[in-house]
Structure 1
Amino acid sequence: MSISTNLAHVVEEIRAAALAAGRDPAEITLVAATKTQSDDVIRQAIAAGVTVCGENRVQELTAHWEAGAYEGAQVHFIGHLQTNKVKYLMGKVDLIHSVSSQKLLLEIDKQAGKAGLVQDILLEVNLAQEPSKSGFFVPDVLPAAQLCGQLPHVRLRGLMCIPPAATFPEENLPFFHKLQALAVDIQERMGDNKTDTKILSMGMSGDFTAAIAAGATHIRVGTAIFGPRSPISNPF
């Protein structure tokens, strides 16, 4: 099936899931995960209606950016981010979803300061405390959020999570509800924070309908739009 057909199907699923949850479909931002896709495929997706591209690798993002592949869409960084790669994202991405440590948070503030901008970010939360995944454990999220309020060149916009692998979408509902509750708790405990921190980035191709039911505002969808990824011939 074509990208435009797949995208239309995903958009309809988003609409149906939102309405079933009593939500406005316009509240949901679809982030098209463009990992391993070519410049031409990204352009096709934007022409079909994609408004936000999400990249996992800094080198791929930089190459696509230099080729002008993202023209007409926002760019979000959604993958694991190393501190030594932060500087390459400044001025290119509207939102970094995957801020997973205090060290990374401080580096983003440093590099954004050098670039003369304020970088919007999400804190990645490791809800299941999986050793194979990055992210703040739940008790560490509030201190990290409070630190954001002290840094002049970052702006906290909300939280992100990648729950454990599941066989059925509904299996992740408890994790999605937990992130939503955590976000509400942090908002209530940061009364002096004037920033809009209502973004909840959760849900991917296999479980985004469950994430929407639990309050997701941003879903990260790749396979359902682009099909199965081909092996990377030149991994960055």
Structure 2
Amino acid sequence: MTPDDAARHDGATPPPRDDVAVPARDDVAVPARDDVAVPARDDIAVPARDDVATRLREVHQRIAAAETAAGRSVGSVRLLLATKTVGAPAIRAALLAAPSVAHRPVLIGENRVQELVAKGPDLADLHPDVHLIGPLQSNKVNAALRWVSCVQTVDSLALATRLAARATADVRPLDVLVQVNVSGETTKSGVAPDDAVALALAVGALEGLRLRGLMTVGARSPDDAVVRAGYAVLRRLRDEVRGSGAPGTEAVTELSMGMSGDLEAAVAEGATVVRLGTAVFGSRPPVAADAQPPST
């Protein structure tokens, strides 16, 4: 076991990138970043900053149209850039272009802790607001919380308790969203809708966490009505949590829902954050099964 592995098993903070190129996973050997560990889009094509700016402008216009159609103020929905397998140079281009073309707050969303840790130092000077939007193993909590301001994928009280312990030790509150599986699809993570309110109230009561709302991945369906119905369920659950008046629910306002293919339905149902990747960075490249790290 390497010193890095020992540190992780002890719950210690992994060493900075200056000491080691890519922190090793506890459960699988990962080659150096320059090889294949993080399949970055830079290896295939890095969008020019002007191209990214154009796409961001188009995305803003699309979200603005959805906001207007829903009777909402333009700019009321925050844009989260989903950056799984997107390299740091492309993300930098988006962050640098955003102030002049996005006209709304722009966040970064990472799915895998391994990528988060690898890319974080390359983006630190831009001070991005980074959210974790993928499943989080409890043994990766320390590494993740070095870089994120919010974990959107809390789906169990056990995970929330681990996050709360670390956040309390850091003497800073951690924003969290409870992930709900509104579609019932077995391929999607999240707590069942019937259990969502109880979990949210339990999470909100934990010291060190600030419950901000709920998150979901929409139904995989060509029927817009089906997708929108799922988002309506999430909105009603959020309203039930917020209306409970329970301790720790005062800041519950967020609905993170909607992606490149269905953002209009999400905005119509009250999304406060939409998560877009393809619309800004293009289709993700295929990744060989033996080169793709497991979700973390």
Q: Deviations over 1:80-107 (max 9, x none)?
A: 1111111112242111111111221111
Residues 124 and 159 in structure 1, CA contact (< 8 A), matched pair in contact too: yes
CA deviation after TM superposition for structure 1 residue 227, in Å: 0.4
Residues 100 and 125 in structure 1, CA contact (< 8 A), matched pair in contact too: yes
- Within-5 A mapping of 1:39-118: 39-49=88-98, 51-68=106-123, 71-118=126-173
CA deviation after TM superposition for structure 1 residue 138, in Å: 1.6
Alignment of 1:29 onto 2:78: yes
What is the alpha-carbon distance in structure 1 between the residues aligned to residue 248 and residue 165 of structure 2?
21
Alignment of 1:179 onto 2:234: yes
What is the alpha-carbon distance in structure 2 between the residues aligned to residue 124 and residue 194 of structure 1?
16
What is the alpha-carbon distance in structure 2 between the residues aligned to residue 81 and residue 192 of structure 1?
25
- With over 3 angstroms needed to count, the CA separation of the structure-2 counterparts of 1:146 and 1:130, relative to structure 1, is same
Paired positions, count: 236
What is the alpha-carbon distance in structure 2 between the residues aligned to residue 149 and residue 27 of structure 1?
24
State the secondary structure of the residue aligned to 1:31: strand
CA deviation after TM superposition for structure 1 residue 69, in Å: 5.6
The residue aligned with 2:20 is none
Residues 90 and 115 in structure 1, CA contact (< 8 A), matched pair in contact too: no
What is the alpha-carbon distance in structure 2 between the residues aligned to residue 219 and residue 109 of structure 1?
26
- With over 3 angstroms needed to count, the CA separation of the structure-2 counterparts of 1:70 and 1:55, relative to structure 1, is farther
Gaps of 5+ in 1: none
What is the alpha-carbon distance in structure 1 between the residues aligned to residue 69 and residue 231 of structure 2?
17
Give 1 or 2 for the bigger CA radius of gyration: 2
Correspondence for 2:260 among 195, 200, 205: 205
Gaps of 5+ in 2: 1-46
The residue aligned with 1:216 is 271
- With over 3 angstroms needed to count, the CA separation of the structure-2 counterparts of 1:225 and 1:69, relative to structure 1, is farther
What is the alpha-carbon distance in structure 1 between the residues aligned to residue 196 and residue 154 of structure 2?
11
Residues 242 and 250 in structure 2, CA contact (< 8 A), matched pair in contact too: no
What is the alpha-carbon distance in structure 1 between the residues aligned to residue 137 and residue 95 of structure 2?
28
What is the alpha-carbon distance in structure 1 between the residues aligned to residue 125 and residue 107 of structure 2?
9
Alignment of 1:16 onto 2:71: no
What is the alpha-carbon distance in structure 2 between the residues aligned to residue 128 and residue 231 of structure 1?
26
- With over 3 angstroms needed to count, the CA separation of the structure-2 counterparts of 1:104 and 1:161, relative to structure 1, is same
State the secondary structure of the residue aligned to 1:206: coil
The residue aligned with 2:12 is none
The residue aligned with 2:292 is 235
TM-score normalised according to structure 2 size: 0.75
What is the alpha-carbon distance in structure 1 between the residues aligned to residue 246 and residue 60 of structure 2?
35
What is the alpha-carbon distance in structure 1 between the residues aligned to residue 64 and residue 76 of structure 2?
10
What is the alpha-carbon distance in structure 2 between the residues aligned to residue 133 and residue 114 of structure 1?
31
CA deviation after TM superposition for structure 1 residue 135, in Å: 0.9
Letter in 2 for 1:6: R
What is the alpha-carbon distance in structure 1 between the residues aligned to residue 121 and residue 139 of structure 2?
20
Residues 241 and 249 in structure 2, CA contact (< 8 A), matched pair in contact too: no
Alignment of 1:195 onto 2:245: no
Letter in 2 for 1:31: L
CA deviation after TM superposition for structure 1 residue 206, in Å: 0.3
Letter in 2 for 1:23: R
- With over 3 angstroms needed to count, the CA separation of the structure-2 counterparts of 1:211 and 1:196, relative to structure 1, is same
% same residue: 36
Letter in 2 for 1:54: G
Letter in 1 for 2:256: S
State the secondary structure of the residue aligned to 1:186: helix
